[in-house]
C-alpha cells in the first residue's frame, strides 16, 4: 500500500497512531515504528522539556523507524513551551510533527527550515483549507466520533473525509472511528491516504495503562462516550463515567468555566495508570465498540493490513471491473 503519506513520512503502512497525552510515550511510539507505522510522543505530557528530549532518545534506542512529536497548540491553563518543542524537534531530527489545537502557522517556517514535516490535525473542512494555506505538508481530518477533540462542527468522519479531500490538494489522513482493516479500506476509498487511530492503540500491550482500564476498553461499547465541554469551547469526546456525568450536569445548568475548572482539572492518569475508572476524565472515541482484545502493536497493524487485503478481494468480487450497462 503506497500512498503520498507512506512516501512523505517514509513508512511501510498507511497507519498512524495519533498523539495521546500521557500515553504517547517511547514504548508505544517505538512499537508503532517497528511495525511499519508512525506514532507521536506528546510534548505536553512532560512538564520539563528535558524529559521530552530524554523520551525521544529512549524511543530512538528502541527503533530505527521514524519517531514523531505531537505539538499541542490548544489553549491551556498551563503555559506550553511551544518554542522549545520546535527546537527539540529540529535538534533531535524528528521527521514529522503532528500539531493540533489551533493554526500552526507560526511554527511552520522554523520546522521546515529544520527539515521537519508537519501534519496538522483538524476537526473541520475549513480548517483543512487553512492547513494547506499555511504550508503544512499533510492534514489529518478527524470526525465527530473521534476520541479527544472532535471540534464544534459535529460532522462525522464519513462526510468529513471526502469533503476535505475535495477541498485541499495536500494529502489527507483520516481520523476518528478507525480500528481495523475495514476502516483502512474505507478511508482509502474516501480519498484519504492513511488512517490515524488513537483509541484503538490504547488497547495494545505496549501502551501504558492499568489492566482495569484496558479491560474497560475491551468491554465498552460505541455508546460509552459523551461529547462534553462544548459550552466552554473545549468540546471533548470522553468516557461516560462519573466525572463526565458531572460535567454534563454542570453544563446543563449553565455552570461557568470557573465553577467547572476543579472538575475538569481531574487527572487523567488516575484512570489510565491507577485503573480508577470514575476517578478522572478519560479521552476515548466511539470506536471503543470495535475493540475486543489487547494485542501487541505489531499484531494489530499486521492484522489491519491483512484484513484490508481480504476486503479488497471481497470488493473485487462485488464491484465489476467494467460496467456492462
Ligand atoms: C487518550 C487520548 C489522548 C489524546 N491526546 C491527544 C493529544 O494530546 N494531542 C492530540 O493532538 N490529540 C490527542 N488525542 C486524539 C488522537 O490523537 C486522535 O486524533 C484520535 O484519537 C482519533 O480518533 P479515534 O480515537 O477514534 O481513533 C487523544 C486521543 C485519546 C484517545
Whether the CB of 148 sits within 6 Å of ligand 1? yes
Write down the pLDDT at residue 19.
98
Rounded to a whole number, what is the distance in angstroms from the first to the last CA of the chain?
Answer: 31
- Record the cell numbers describing residue 22, joined without a space: 500521557
Q: Is the CB of 72 under 6 A from ligand 1?
A: yes
pLDDT of the residue at 76: 82
Q: Classify residue 325: in a domain, yes or no.
A: no
Contact 153, 124 (CB under 8 A): yes
Q: Is residue 50 one of the residues assigned to a domain?
A: yes
Q: Please indicate, yes or no, whether residues 34 and 182 belong to a single structural domain of this protein.
A: yes
Instruction: Report the nearest-CA residue for atom 11 of ligand 1.
Output: 100
**Domain annotation covers residue 34:** yes
**261 and 164 within one domain:** no
If you measure from the C-alpha of residue 141 to the centroid of ligand 1, how many angstroms do you get, rounded to a whole number? Answer: 12
Between CA 239 and CA 284 the distance in angstroms is 6
Give the separation between CA 261 and CA 257, rounded to whole angstroms. Answer: 6
Query: Is 121 within 8 Å of 70 (Cβ atoms)?
Result: no
Report strand pairing: 225-228 vs 38-42. Answer: unpaired
Shared domain check, 177 and 253? no
Q: Give the pTM.
A: 0.97
Q: Quick one: 231 and 125 in the same domain?
A: no
Same domain, yes or no, for 223 and 201? no
Question: Among residues 185, 209, 238, which one has the least CA distance to residue 15?
Answer: 185
The answer as to whether 281 is a domain residue is: yes
Q: Which of 15, 16, 18 to mutate to test the pocket of ligand 1 (most atoms within 8 A of CB)?
A: 18
Are residues 245 and 128 part of one domain? no
What CA–CA distance (Å, rounded) separates 228 from 237? 6
The CATH number assigned to the domain holding 166 equals: 3.20.20.70
Residue 152 maps to a domain: yes
Q: Are residues 34 and 110 in the same domain?
A: yes
Domain co-membership, 99 together with 227: no
Residue 92 Cα to ligand 1 midpoint, Å, equals 23
Ligand 1 in reach of 46 Cβ (< 6 A): no
Are 111 and 238 within one domain? no
> What was the pLDDT predicted at 321?
86
Q: Whose CA is nearest to atom 6 of ligand 1?
A: 20
Asked if the structure places residue 324 within a domain, the reply is no
Distance CA 108, CA 116 (A): 9
Task: Give the up-direction half-sphere exposure of residue 201: CA atoms within 13 A in the CB hemisphere.
Answer: 35
Q: What is the pLDDT of residue 75?
A: 83
Residue 259 placed within a domain: yes
Ligand 1, atom 12, residue with closest C-alpha = 19
Longest dimension (CA), the chain: 65
- Could you identify the residue written with the cell 497493524? 301
Residue ranges, the chain, pLDDT below 50:
none
What per-residue confidence (pLDDT) applies to 322? 85
150 lines ligand 1 (CB under 6 A): no
Rounded to an integer, what is the distance from CA 264 to the centroid of its chain?
A: 21
What range does the domain containing 46 cover?
4-208+292-318
Q: Which residues pair with 40 in a beta bridge?
A: 68
Query: Cα of 147 to ligand 1 centre, how many Å?
Result: 5
Task: Please tell me whether residues 8 and 109 are part of one structural domain.
Answer: yes
Percent of the chain with pLDDT over 90: 95
Report pLDDT digits (tens) over 204-262.
Answer: 999 999 999 999 999 999 999 999 999 999 999 999 999 999 999 999 999 999 999 99
Q: Is 20 in the pocket of ligand 1 (CB under 6 A)?
A: yes
When divided into structural domains, the chain yields a total of 2
For position 48, what pLDDT does the model report? Answer: 96
| 37 CB within 6 A, ligand 1 | no
User: Separation of 325 CA from ligand 1 center, angstroms?
Assistant: 45
Please tell me whether residues 220 and 74 are part of one structural domain: no
Say if residue 178 is in the same domain as residue 255.
no
Burial class from Cβ neighbours inside 10 Å (0-12, 13-18, 19+) for residue 199 reads buried
- Counting residues of the chain whose pLDDT is more than 70, the rounded percentage is 100
**CA separation for the pair 132, 170 (Å, rounded):** 7
pLDDT of residue 266: 82
61 assigned to some structural domain: yes
Four-point Cα dihedral 224, 282, 79, 263, nearest 10 = 90
Whole-number pLDDT of residue 288? 98
For residue 149, the surrounding DSSP H or E stretch is: none
Amino acid at each position: 500500500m503506497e500512498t503520498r503519506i507512506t512516501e512523505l513520512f517514509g513508512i511501510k503502512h498507511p497507519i498512524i497512531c495519533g498523539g495521546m497525552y500521557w500515553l504517547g510515550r517511547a514504548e508505544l511510539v517505538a512499537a508503532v515504528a517497528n511495525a511499519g507505522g508512525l506514532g507521536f510522543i506528546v510534548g505536553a505530557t512532560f512538564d520539563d522539556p528535558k524529559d521530552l528530549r530524554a523520551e525521544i532518545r529512549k524511543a530512538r534506542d528502541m527503533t530505527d523507524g521514524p519517531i514523531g512529536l505531537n505539538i499541542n497548540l490548544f489553549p491551556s491553563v498551563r503555559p506550553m513551551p511551544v518554542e522549545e518543542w520546535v527546537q527539540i524537534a529540529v535538534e533531535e531530527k524528528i521527521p514529522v510533527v503532528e500539531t493540533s489545537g489551533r493554526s500552526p502557522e507560526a511554527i511552520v517556517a522554523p520546522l521546515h527550515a529544520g527539515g521537519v514535516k508537519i501534519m496538522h490535525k483538524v476537526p473541520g473542512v475549513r480548517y483543512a483549507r487553512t492547513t494547506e494555506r499555511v504550508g503544512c505538508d499533510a492534514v489529518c481530518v478527524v470526525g465527530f466520533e473521534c476520541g479527544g477533540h472532535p471540534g464544534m462542527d459535529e460532522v462525522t468522519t464519513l462526510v468529513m473525509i471526502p469533503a476535505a479531500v475535495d477541498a485541499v490538494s495536500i494529502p489527507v489522513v483520516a481520523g476518528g472511528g478507525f480500528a481495523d482493516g475495514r476502516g483502512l479500506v474505507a478511508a482509502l476509498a474516501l480519498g484519504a491516504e492513511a488512517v490515524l487511530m488513537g483509541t484503538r492503540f490504547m488497547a495494545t500491550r505496549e501502551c501504558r495503562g492499568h489492566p482495569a482500564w484496558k479491560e474497560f476498553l475491551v468491554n465498552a461499547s460505541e455508546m460509552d462516550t459523551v461529547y462534553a465541554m462544548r459550552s466552554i469551547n473545549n468540546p471533548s469526546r470522553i468516557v461516560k463515567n462519573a466525572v463526565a456525568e458531572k460535567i454534563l450536569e454542570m453544563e446543563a445548568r449553565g455552570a461557568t468555566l470557573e465553577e467547572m475548572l476543579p472538575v475538569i482539572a481531574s487527572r487523567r492518569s488516575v484512570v489510565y495508570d491507577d485503573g480508577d475508572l470514575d476517578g478522572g476524565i478519560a479521552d476515548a472515541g466511539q470506536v471503543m465498540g470495535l475493540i475486543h482484545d489487547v494485542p501487541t502493536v505489531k499484531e494489530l497493524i499486521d492484522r489491519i493490513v491483512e484484513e484490508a487485503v481480504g476486503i479488497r478481494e471481497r470488493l473485487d468480487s462485488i464491484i465489476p471491473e467494467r460496467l456492462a450497462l
